[in-house]
């Protein structure tokens, strides 16, 4: 083997050892278990998001409902963990984020690219994505559930946004990336993080 390749491989291994994190392919059985937990936790979040939004838009119009889309990871985690009896960590993530708190990390980016690469494939869009991550000696899994745009989401994320909504969004999120969507577009994902020990 070429000396350069050998050196490169040794260096990569050393780097992995130092940084202490890598992602591996989960087994079929791990995937199924992660999916069951992830589906449950993300469904809790989705129904929470939709009922909050619909109620708030009906009550105070889209400009008044802007706060309703604010779901912080801590509240979500608490709710999903209590209801599913498993201590999961929940977050939303997307490449086109409105709140920088939702910006993707390197594993999120990998998952988002996976969904994005399937956006143009007719009649097929994956329902989920699972990652197995070894980080500082601990193994955990991430479940990603893709989010698509509904008609009602476009009031605040679409191409034509009412003036009062636009002004409020600009004020709260000056670097907003989350507009210009159309119905059916891939928006991002709900991420559910599960430690290996809870995968029974
Ligand atoms: C009333 C306005 C409004 C509507 C309607 C709305 N959103 Fe949002 N959305 C927001 C705001 C404001 C944020 C930023 C929340 C924050 O600060 O965490 C946001 C954030 C998000 C995020 C988190 C990622 C990011 O960009 O920061 C996702 C995902 C999202 N919205 C999806 C949806 C989906 C799907 C729908 C339709 C079911 C929807 N939104 C409808 C206002 C809205």
pLDDT > 70 in the chain, percent:
88
Tell me which residues have their CB closer than 6 angstroms to ligand 1. Answer: 50, 53, 57, 62, 65-66, 69-70, 92, 94, 97-99, 102, 147, 149-150, 152-153, 155-157, 178, 187-188
> Where do the structural domains in the chain lie, given as residue ranges?
21-198
Residue 21 banded pLDDT, cuts 50, 70, 90: low
Which of 193, 171, 169 shows the shortest CA–CA distance to 84?
193
What is the distance between the alpha carbons of residues 38 and 191, in angstroms, rounded to a whole number?
Answer: 8
Tens digits of per-residue pLDDT, 139-180?
999 999 999 999 999 999 999 999 999 999 999 999 999 999
Q: What pLDDT score does 12 carry?
A: 56
Q: Tokens in use for 111?
A: 């998952």
H-type helices in 65-174, by residue range?
Answer: 73-84, 106-118, 154-157, 163-172
The model's pTM: 0.87
């Amino acid at each position: 083997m070429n000396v350069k390749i050998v050196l490169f491989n040794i260096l990569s291994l050393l780097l992995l050892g130092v940084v202490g994190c890598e992602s591996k392919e989960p087994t079929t059985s791990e995937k199924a278990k992660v999916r069951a937990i992830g589906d449950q936790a993300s469904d809790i979040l989705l129904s929470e998001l939709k009922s909050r939004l619909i109620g708030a838009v009906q009550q105070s119009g889209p400009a008044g409902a802007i706060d309703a889309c604010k779901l912080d990871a801590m509240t979500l985690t608490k709710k999903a963990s209590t209801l599913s009896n498993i201590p999961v960590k929940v977050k939303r993530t997307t490449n086109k984020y409105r709140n920088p708190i939702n910006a993707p990390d390197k594993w999120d980016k990998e998952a988002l690219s996976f969904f994005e690469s399937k956006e143009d494939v007719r009649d097929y869009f994956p329902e989920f994505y699972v990652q197995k991550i070894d980080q500082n000696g601990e193994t955990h899994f991430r479940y990603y559930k893709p989010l698509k745009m509904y008609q009602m989401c476009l009031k605040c994320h679409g191409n034509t946004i009412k003036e009062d909504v636009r002004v409020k969004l600009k004020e709260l999120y000056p670097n907003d990336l989350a507009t210009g969507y159309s119905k059916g577009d891939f928006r991002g994902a709900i991420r559910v993080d599960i430690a290996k020990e809870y995968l029974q």
